[in-house]
Structure 1
Amino acid sequence: MTKPIVRAVDLRQQVYENLRGRITSGEFDENTRFYERTFADELGVSRTPVREALAMLEQDGLLSQAARGYRLPRMSRQQVIDVTEIRLLLEPHAIGSMVRQTKPAKRAKIAALIRKEVEASRDSDAYIAAHGRMREVILSEVENRSLVDAIQQYEDSIHFVRISTLGRPAWRRMSADGMLDLADALEAGDDQRAAELQLTLLTKARDSFLEFSETDA
């Protein structure tokens, strides 16, 4: 009798998902260096799947090569300005359309989730990961998936901006207050107000990063 083939565990994918989740949640600070040996020892795997996972993360824009190993990417002030310009064109429209197309009960559920996430994390670095989860929930309800794909092209590339700004208490509070206002607009079905709030949030995030980059220059 022929035995069924057992698919081998894809260690590369597991390492990739482990590191990707930790990077996007803000676990690593901006000066972290990513070495094959370090994570092979930590995760209990050989260096090969770690090497392949790090290369995948670089391809995604989550890491960039350094003199030795990898590091979190740096975005220039102009890159942040350019990417924000694109996001300002896409995201307010996406959120406004989501409000118009989503049923009241679903909007209320999303609003309640946003409030819960904000209240649980606004006073700590846990807000960085919570912010990502809130965005995912909102974008998941946008019917135009091509529009969402266009927005998400820049999602990973701006994680350094998110970590830099939301890791600072004053900027985190500003974002949290904005998300609570957005929750109110979603629940009320006010698509114009929701779009305006998203535009404001993106503009403040850009300006906060530019202020951060001047401070650290």
Structure 2
Amino acid sequence: MNVYEQMKEAIITGRYKQGERLTEEALTIDWNVSRTPIRSALKQLEFDGLVQPLKRGFFVRAFSKEDLRQIYDLRALLESYGAGQAALHHQSEDLAAIQQANSQYEQAILASSLPHEERISAVIAANTQFHDAVYRASRNRHIQELIAKVVVLPFIYRSFYWFGEDGLQQSLAAHKTIVAAIEERDGERAKAAMNEHIFKGRDYVLHYYEGGDKFG
């Protein structure tokens, strides 16, 4: 990964906290590079909406409850459309990729003997692969690009850390419903299942944002 990708991952995973000040001087030390790639990375992160400029440096953007609600509304619109299109337009290799990703997702969720951090990291990775496979199956490059920008937010990424066991099982059940609809080329069912899945995730995030306990 280049410096931009590494810094982006650091924000998404919570290494750099919301509201944290980022200076070129500190970042050159963090990443052991000159100021030129740091400046370029900060410009790209500003375009992504993940950092905002200060008089001296940048700070990691903080998201309000209303920001999160609006982002999830948009995410539901895009992802449900993408799932519906995937059901109608997928090729055999697309379906195989979706099925494999969901199998890995299930394995990660069932690996309860793993240390919590390791298990959730595996769940997040498999979930990302699953959703990416669904977007690719839509055969719509523009949808893939739009979704990629919307879902790259720290609260969305880290939401799995706030799921209890019931929450993880509900997420897996939702994935299986989406897969079945895509397998059957049922666009409306796939769209509805993805929409419900995203809004359930929104409820988890907003519940935690308001200081609630884990779901499930």
TM-score tier after normalising by the smaller chain length: 0.7 to 0.9
CA distance in 1, matches of 2:51, 2:29: 20
Q: TM-score, normalised by structure 1?
A: 0.74
- Residue type of the partner of 1:181? T
Give the alignment's Cα RMSD to 1 decimal.
3.0
CA distance in 1, matches of 2:102, 2:14: 22
> Per-residue displacement from partner, 1:150-185 (whole Å, max 9, x unpaired)?
4344233xx122134222232555434422432333
**Which structure: larger Rg?**
1
Question: What's the secondary structure of 1:45's corresponding residue?
Answer: coil
Q: Which residue of 2 aligns with 1:166?
A: 160
Seen in structure 2, the aligned counterparts of structure 1 residues 105 and 160 have a Cα distance that, compared at 3 Å, is closer
- Return 5+ residue gaps in structure 2 as ranges: 111-118
- Report the Cα offset of residue 202 of structure 1: 1.1
Identity %, equivalent residues: 24
- Mapping for residues 105-116 of structure 1, pairs under 5 Å: 106-116=94-104
- Mapping for residues 3-152 of structure 1, pairs under 5 Å: 14-24=2-12, 26=13, 28=15, 30=17, 34-65=22-53, 69-104=57-92, 106-120=94-108, 123-152=119-148
> Per-residue displacement from partner, 1:4-37 (whole Å, max 9, x unpaired)?
xxxxxxxxx921122224444x252635654433
CA distance in 1, matches of 2:54, 2:96: 46
**Conserved? CA contact 1:95–1:138, under 8 Å:** yes
**Conserved? CA contact 1:35–1:69, under 8 Å:** yes
- Residue type of the partner of 2:29? D
Q: TM-score, normalised by structure 2?
A: 0.75
Q: Which residue of 1 aligns with 2:203?
A: 207
Seen in structure 2, the aligned counterparts of structure 1 residues 164 and 110 have a Cα distance that, compared at 3 Å, is closer
Seen in structure 2, the aligned counterparts of structure 1 residues 34 and 117 have a Cα distance that, compared at 3 Å, is farther
**Conserved? CA contact 1:115–1:183, under 8 Å:** no
